[in-house]
């Protein structure tokens, strides 16, 4: 891992992180202010073993617990769930009243925290998506983007998995939509190519992830930090790809 990735690894391994890392991960500034700070402190008041809040470190585990309680995602993760870049989601939010949806999916204006019900509400309201069954995330994203184009004239900028793009020559050029982010490289990541990390984060929170290809390249460093038992499925595919590129 390079220096920046080691810095992220160190932050991911701690319950409290440096504010620049929280900004990079969730696009959230620390310390919080206004209503967000008030609501966060109120949640902490009902918990045991609450941290002492300082400007120097951000209590990431408690912040992510707050997002779960409030059913919120930071905008980069909310957009990834829809297979789009954040600018496209920002374009979409003011248009929602056009299909009978409310426009206050961002309860803390300007901070990029989006209610998790958005994806389900879009599926329910967009005529082309009602009663549809989505076999894969790729199918869901393609149909979602087509429906948004039809309803609003919105040309969605897709968010594709960086790992799949790197492997594309070996897999016939297929591009997979991302659904989340690699917490060590900060690159978009699909379900197929992700592996969960165990860096001491509570099991009740969304797991931290990295790409299987990144794991293959840093196997000795990361081998002892995987969630579950054993190594990632189909690891040999990624190891062969790494070897082929080293030999090239």
Here the tokens at position 85 are: 């870049």
For residue 171, what pLDDT is reported? 56
Rounded mean pLDDT for each run of 10 residues along the chain, 248 residues in total: 96 96 96 96 86 93 96 96 96 90 87 94 86 84 94 95 84 83 97 94 94 95 89 90 64
For residue 129, what pLDDT is reported? 82
Beta 208-211 vs 194-197: how paired, if at all?
A: antiparallel
Here the tokens at position 189 are: 């990541």
For residue 46, what pLDDT is reported? 81
- Distinct helix (H) and strand (E) counts, the chain: 12, 8
Q: What does DSSP assign to residue 102? A: -
Cis peptide leading into residue 31 (ω within 30°):
yes
Here the tokens at position 25 are: 């991960």
- Which residue reads 């206004």 in tokens? 34
Here the tokens at position 193 are: 């190519």
For residue 58, what pLDDT is reported? 97
For residue 100, what pLDDT is reported? 86
pTM: 0.90
For residue 247, what pLDDT is reported? 44
For residue 246, what pLDDT is reported? 56
Give every CB contact of residue 53 below 8 A, 6+ residues apart in sequence. 31, 41, 44, 59
d(CA 203, CA 186): 22
């Amino acid at each position: 891992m390079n220096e920046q990735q080691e810095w992220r690894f160190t932050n991911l391994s701690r319950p409290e992180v440096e504010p620049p890392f929280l900004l990079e991960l969730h696009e959230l500034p620390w310390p919080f202010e206004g209503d967000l700070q008030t609501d966060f402190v109120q949640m902490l008041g009902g918990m045991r073993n609450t941290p002492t809040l300082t400007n120097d470190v951000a209590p990431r585990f408690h912040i992510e617990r707050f997002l779960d309680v409030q059913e919120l995602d930071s905008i980069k993760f909310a957009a990834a769930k829809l297979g789009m870049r954040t600018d496209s989601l920002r374009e979409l939010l003011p248009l929602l009243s056009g299909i009978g949806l409310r426009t206050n999916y961002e309860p803390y204006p300007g901070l990029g925290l989006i209610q998790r019900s958005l994806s389900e509400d879009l599926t329910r309201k967009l005529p082309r998506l009602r009663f549809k069954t989505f076999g894969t995330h790729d199918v869901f994203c393609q149909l979602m983007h087509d429906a948004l184009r039809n309803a609003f004239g919105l040309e969605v900028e897709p968010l594709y998995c960086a790992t799949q793009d790197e492997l594309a020559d070996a897999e016939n050029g297929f591009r997979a939509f991302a659904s989340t982010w690699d917490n060590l490289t900060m690159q978009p990541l699909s379900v197929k190519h992700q592996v969960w990390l165990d860096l001491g984060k509570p099991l009740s929170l969304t797991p931290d992830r990295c790409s299987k290809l990144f794991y293959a390249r840093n196997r000795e460093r990361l081998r002892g930090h995987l969630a579950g038992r054993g190594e990632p499925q189909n690891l040999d595919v990624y190891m062969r790809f790494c070897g082929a590129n080293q030999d090239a």
